[in-house]
Chains A and B, each alone.
Chain A
């Protein structure tokens, strides 16, 4: 059995399906004609991506300006460059994927699981390379504080992101919000890296990175809860 034979079988089977009735199409055309105002198309993907990145950078910088740039000041210049460059690259990837999920029919390059796991893995490698202090003093208390700060800074980033993408339409809201939550979580991590002076590897690897999956999960959960009434009445 060759592939053309399968194609032929599928084609012949599909050929039997009835077509759409002209009366149905005429009815749809009439219904749409009643409310046919001009609309402004959504901005290009690159512009939305830039706006998202600027919003996230502004939130992280504003948070650190208020709390202090102690964390980044305590790092060696080369470590600062590597850290900020990696965070910026990750933010670009996450912002692009986030925009793609908010515009129907856009090209998605990475699946949600790959996006989330890949981001966490890259951050793990980065922090393992940059932070070599393996003590874990006040591991839980200090960690929970950082997790809280990271999530709190992710909230304004997520709200600004929603404002930037308000004219989009997510066909899969939970998946789109997961990507948005991951980007907001990365903003929280960026704030922590600028501010936090705890350079212990376990602290960075567990509590700082945890901000990203926690925010992604919160984003997906909120989208699921928000769209639940609409699903129930659809």
Chain B
């Protein structure tokens, strides 16, 4: 399957064509939406090592429930809502595995190290945030979603998302200051790679 050429159609139009059984639209949609979904998985340490698998699982689930998308609605919150559910399932599965297979703990810890290289600054920055606030920041800042879209994706009210974002920003402000004070010669977290 070749990567599709730049398709000018909107994501919503592609989704409708995908529902009609258009293979080219499905491929274009996968290439357009997947980077955002992938960022949701790699932004979190718990799902990062399995991001490829989770992305594939998300698309299989999207495919199974594609009828539940309604024409005219934004695609990204719909896809994110499903991806979130896949990630939650992954947490539960991982928790069960960890609880039952204690002897493998060291092996499981050793495996994702090579894959997680390069994420230290992101983890350091988001470390003090609770899961719900971290998720809101991921969607707002990494995926570029609006408050309304985040609210739709997380099945929350816009007010609740605003509150979480506000609290996350308050924590992030002090965290950025803290990290900057800890290594003043390096500037903000991520400066080394980003600049």
Which A residues form the contact surface with B (CB < 8 A)? 1, 3, 5-22, 24-33, 35-42, 44-45, 100-101, 103-111, 167-169, 171-172, 175, 231-232, 234
B residues 145-192 in Cβ contact with A at 8 Å: 148, 151-153, 155-157, 160, 169, 172-174, 176-177, 188-191
Contacts of A26 in B (CB 8 A): 1-3
Which B residues form the contact surface with A (CB < 8 A)? 1-3, 16, 19-23, 26-27, 30-31, 34-35, 38-39, 42-43, 51-52, 55-56, 59-60, 63, 65-71, 73-74, 77-82, 84-85, 89, 92-93, 96, 118-119, 121-122, 125-126, 137, 141-142, 148, 151-153, 155-157, 160, 169, 172-174, 176-177, 188-191, 193-195
Task: Please provide the 10 A-B residue pairs with the shortest distance between their CB atoms, ordered closest to farther.
Answer: A105-B78, A12-B190, A12-B194, A38-B21, A104-B81, A105-B77, A13-B190, A169-B65, A20-B38, A13-B122
Flag if A105 contacts B152 (CB, 8 Å): yes
Contacts of B39 in A (CB 8 A): 14, 17
Flag if A25 contacts B122 (CB, 8 Å): no
Contacts of B38 in A (CB 8 A): 19-20
**CB contact under 8 A between A108 and B155, given known A22-B3, A25-B3:** yes
Point out the residue from A13, A169, A231 that lies within 8 Å of B189, measured CB to CB: A13
Flag if B55 contacts A108 (CB, 8 Å): no
Shortest CB distance B174–A (Å):
8
Point out the residue from A6, A25, A111, A171 that lies within 8 Å of B172, measured CB to CB: A6
Number of A-B contacts (CB under 8 A): 196
Bound CA–CA A231/B63 (angstroms): 19
